[in-house]
Amino acid sequence: MSRGRLRPPKARTWSPRGHTPCVTVRAGGFFRFPAYTPDLNPAEGVWAHLKNGLGSLAPCSLDELAALARTRLKRMRYKPGLLDGFIAETGLIPAPL
C-alpha cells in the first residue's frame, strides 16, 4: 500500500475548441467568459477594499502584514452590506438556489 497523497480525478476546465475557458452549469450547459474580466468578478472589489485599508500601514514583517490582512478579511465577513455591494458592483444578478 502506497503512502502517497490521494489525488482527486482531474476535471477539464477548457472547451474542446482551443483554450476557451468555460464554467459548467448544473443543467449541463456552459457559460463562456472572456479571458480576463475583473469587472465581473466580485473578488476584485474585496481585494481593492482590502488593499485600500492596508495602504497606509507600515508593517515590520511579512508575518505582521499577513496577520493584518487576515484580520481585515475576517471583519468583512460580518458586514453583509459590504459584501452585497461587491456583488452589486459587477451588475450581475445572482440566481436563487
Q: Which of the four pLDDT bands, split at 50, 70 and 90, describes residue 71? A: very high
Give pLDDT, residue 18: 54
Tell me the C-alpha distance between 97 and 84, whole Å: 16
Give pLDDT, residue 37: 77
Give pLDDT, residue 1: 47
Cα 74 from chain centroid (whole Å): 15
Nearest CA-CA partner of 39 in 90, 93, 92, 94: 90
Give pLDDT, residue 27: 54
Give the model confidence (pLDDT) of 11-65 as tens digits.
Answer: 555 555 555 555 545 555 555 656 677 788 888 888 888 888 888 888 899 999 9
